[in-house]
Amino acid sequence: METLLWICSTAAMLALLGLLALRALEELLGIKVRLPAPRAASGRLDPANWPWPAVFAASLAVLWLGALAGYLLMDEPSLGFFTRIWTRFTQAGDAPHYLRIAQYGYASAGEYANEIVFYPLYPLLMGMLGRLLGGRYALAGMLLSQVCYGLAGVVMAKLAKKDCPHPGAALAAFWLYPFGYFCLGVYTEGLFLLLTLLGLWAVRERKWLLAGAVGFLCALTRTQGVLLLLPGVYCAWRDCREHGWNWRYLALAGPILGYLAYLGLNKAVCGSFFAYQVYESMEPWWQTPQWLGDTLAQQFTMGMGYPGLANWIYWPQLFLYFIAAALLMAAWRRRLDSAHILYGTAYLGMSYTASWLISGSRYMLGCVPMYLAVGSFKNRALRALILLGELAFLAYYAARFMEGQAIM
């Protein structure tokens, strides 16, 4: 089975790269190839057309309703709802690391030196807000995540209206992602989502300076942030063929500069530009780069060997890879913007090149083109089926997380 998974996952990635190559031949080199025709956008009203304050409020409402559903579906509810929320979203997973960095900064040696693996923008902003709130750093982290998530919903609606025949379905797919509840707590997900969506929207609108600035910040938030370079360069190349050279394209190096700044932080704190890679390869993460096919095969092996964790970690990650690949292929078929598909393919690949992957389900929240693909489907029943499936899994996994299961 492991060999079959390796072959299938590798074939899926190669197929995506082949489809992107066909699109690039047409759009960047002007070579005509037989491709699907673009789809016209629907004029029907949907949530994506609501005023931005309504989209912001709805985004947060869905986030909290998902957590409430999880609480009500717990096998043995204990503590009050808000106490449970506070406990799980400020003490589980990576939250204690971010809180410590926000308060005390990075350690150059000792027990907490390995926290250099956590990128600096989120704890920096949390520390600034926490001091304004009188030292309430956990509250600051939760507020920051949730405000960013609400704003991410607003940008998601704008992006979907540009590219999807059914933008409301894309927005709903974003809202109902089964692991989106991490945006309630002290995690980078809300901030990373907002910056990712802003970056994709900026290059879509040819706002090169904004795209570069956002890419710089995104690369200081999480490793995958550097991937915003790819849609930026792709859109710039496409734009250059039509309008000629623009010096603002140089700003698209922002993600690279952000990553270099993070390496500089590693050097200043730990004495090595790549200290974070050393610490990532050690306990408790044990992560080193490997081919994604090896990761998928490993997921199956770990799932069979640790059935107690399989339902919370390994099976969701394994299935999400193939679901995301299928959605990206559908996005290509439905003629969504090539820059988005390029980003989604690179994001999928990078997310699954980490050995000992345990947070893949949470990471895939940032694979934005998946949601756009749902908004591109013509069949209403298919869109509804996908959204209902998301809703069911959201309730299930939110309940298990609230119970204290090892969902990371």
Please determine, for residue 195, whether its predicted confidence score (pLDDT) is greater than 90. yes
Compute how many other C-beta atoms are within 10 angstroms of the C-beta atom of residue 203: 30
* pLDDT of the residue at 96: 94
Per residue in 74-106, pLDDT (tens digit) is: 877 677 888 888 999 999 889 999 999 999 999
Please determine, for residue 341, whether its predicted confidence score (pLDDT) is greater than 70. yes
Say if residues 29 and 21 touch (Cβ distance below 8 Å): no
Compute how many other C-beta atoms are within 10 angstroms of the C-beta atom of residue 73: 15
* pLDDT of the residue at 343: 96
Percentage of residues of the chain with pLDDT beyond 70 = 95
Assign 45 a pLDDT band (cuts: 50, 70, 90): low
Both tokens assigned to 281: 């390869």
* pLDDT of the residue at 42: 52
Both tokens assigned to 210: 């904004």
Please determine, for residue 19, whether its predicted confidence score (pLDDT) is greater than 90. no
Give the pLDDT mean for 299-323.
Answer: 91
Percentage of residues of the chain with pLDDT beyond 90 = 64
The distance in angstroms from the start CA to the end CA of the chain is 26
C-alpha span between 393 and 395 (Å, rounded): 5
Q: Which residues contact 127 (CB under 8 A, 6 or more apart)?
A: 101, 102, 103, 137, 140
Cα 48 from chain centroid (whole Å): 20
Give the pLDDT mean for 308-323.
Answer: 91
Please determine, for residue 39, whether its predicted confidence score (pLDDT) is greater than 60. no
Identify the bridge partners of residue 78 per DSSP, sorted by sequence position. none
* pLDDT of the residue at 77: 66
Nearest Cα neighbor of 311 from 396, 253, 250 is 396
Per residue in 196-254, pLDDT (tens digit) is: 999 999 998 999 999 999 999 999 999 999 999 999 999 888 888 777 788 888 999 99
C-alpha span between 335 and 372 (Å, rounded): 11
Cα 30 from chain centroid (whole Å): 32
Per residue in 58-77, pLDDT (tens digit) is: 999 999 999 998 888 887 76
Say if residues 367 and 139 touch (Cβ distance below 8 Å): no
Give the pLDDT mean for 117-130.
Answer: 96
Give the pLDDT mean for 352-380.
Answer: 92
